Amino acid sequence: METMNAEIFTLTYGSMVRQLLVDTEDVEEVNKQLDKMGYNIGVRLIDEFLAKSKINKCVDFRDSAEKLAKVGFKMFLNTTASVTSWNAEGTECSLILEDNPMTDFVELPEGCSRKLRYCNLLCGVIRGALRMVNLNVSCNFVQDVLWDDPVSELRLKLISTGAENYPFKDDD
């Protein structure tokens, strides 16, 4: 697989977030925009992921989360995440990122801690990519090293799984 310089990526992403902060002047809006961008990336990224990983079926959400953490993060961010803190029903879990290349060299501006979800793009990507395989999830940062937490933690919650429905009505 093609590789690129991680620092260029990190710095590009950083300047994009900075520009968004300047343009919108609203931290919540930046979070929203990042999530939206990520979603649009994820919708496409899933095909590349499927094509390159040759993964065909995931038996359940647990399996999907493992593949996402071990194969997905490895492929696109060259890092892995561990999947922990499952709830009893197996619909919620946490992805712990020990090493997140996107946060290298980053310092949040003052007053943004606990507000700016710097890597919110990731949440969008995960949401978009899983949406394409009919898993509706919500994804949020609950801990972030940039907020002086020990690790970055993404909380992943399965809302529903869609079925393959016939898209046309009988009479049209």
Partner 1 sequence: MGVFTIYFFDREGTCLFYHEWSRPKPVKLGAGTPGDDQKMLFGLFFQLKVFAAAMDPKGKPNAQLGAPTRIGESCSFHSFTTDLYKLHFAESPSGLKIVLTTDPTVGDMRESMAYIYSYIYVECVVKNPMYSPGQPFRFETFTTQLNDFIQSLGLLQ
Residues of this chain that bind partner 1 (CB under 8 A): 43-44, 46-48, 50-52, 55-59, 132-134, 161-168
Tell me the C-alpha distance between 98 and 150, whole Å.
9
- Describe the crossing of helices 120-132 and 27-53 by its angle, rounded to 10 degrees: 50
Nearer to partner 1, 21 or 133 (CB): 133
Nearer to partner 1, 30 or 42 (CB): 42
Tell me the C-alpha distance between 100 and 80, whole Å.
9
Nearer to partner 1, 3 or 56 (CB): 56
- The length of the chain is 172
Tell me the C-alpha distance between 62 and 58, whole Å.
9
Q: How far is the CB of 55 from partner 1 (least distance, A)?
A: 8
Backbone angles phi, psi at 159, to 5 degrees: -90, -50
Q: How far is the CB of 57 from partner 1 (least distance, A)?
A: 4
Q: How far is the CB of 39 from partner 1 (least distance, A)?
A: 11
Tell me the C-alpha distance between 81 and 127, whole Å.
16
Nearer to partner 1, 111 or 167 (CB): 167
Q: How far is the CB of 171 from partner 1 (least distance, A)?
A: 13
Nearer to partner 1, 21 or 132 (CB): 132
Task: Count CB atoms within 10 A of the CB of residue 15.
Answer: 10
Backbone angles phi, psi at 167, to 5 degrees: -75, -15
Q: How far is the CB of 160 from partner 1 (least distance, A)?
A: 11
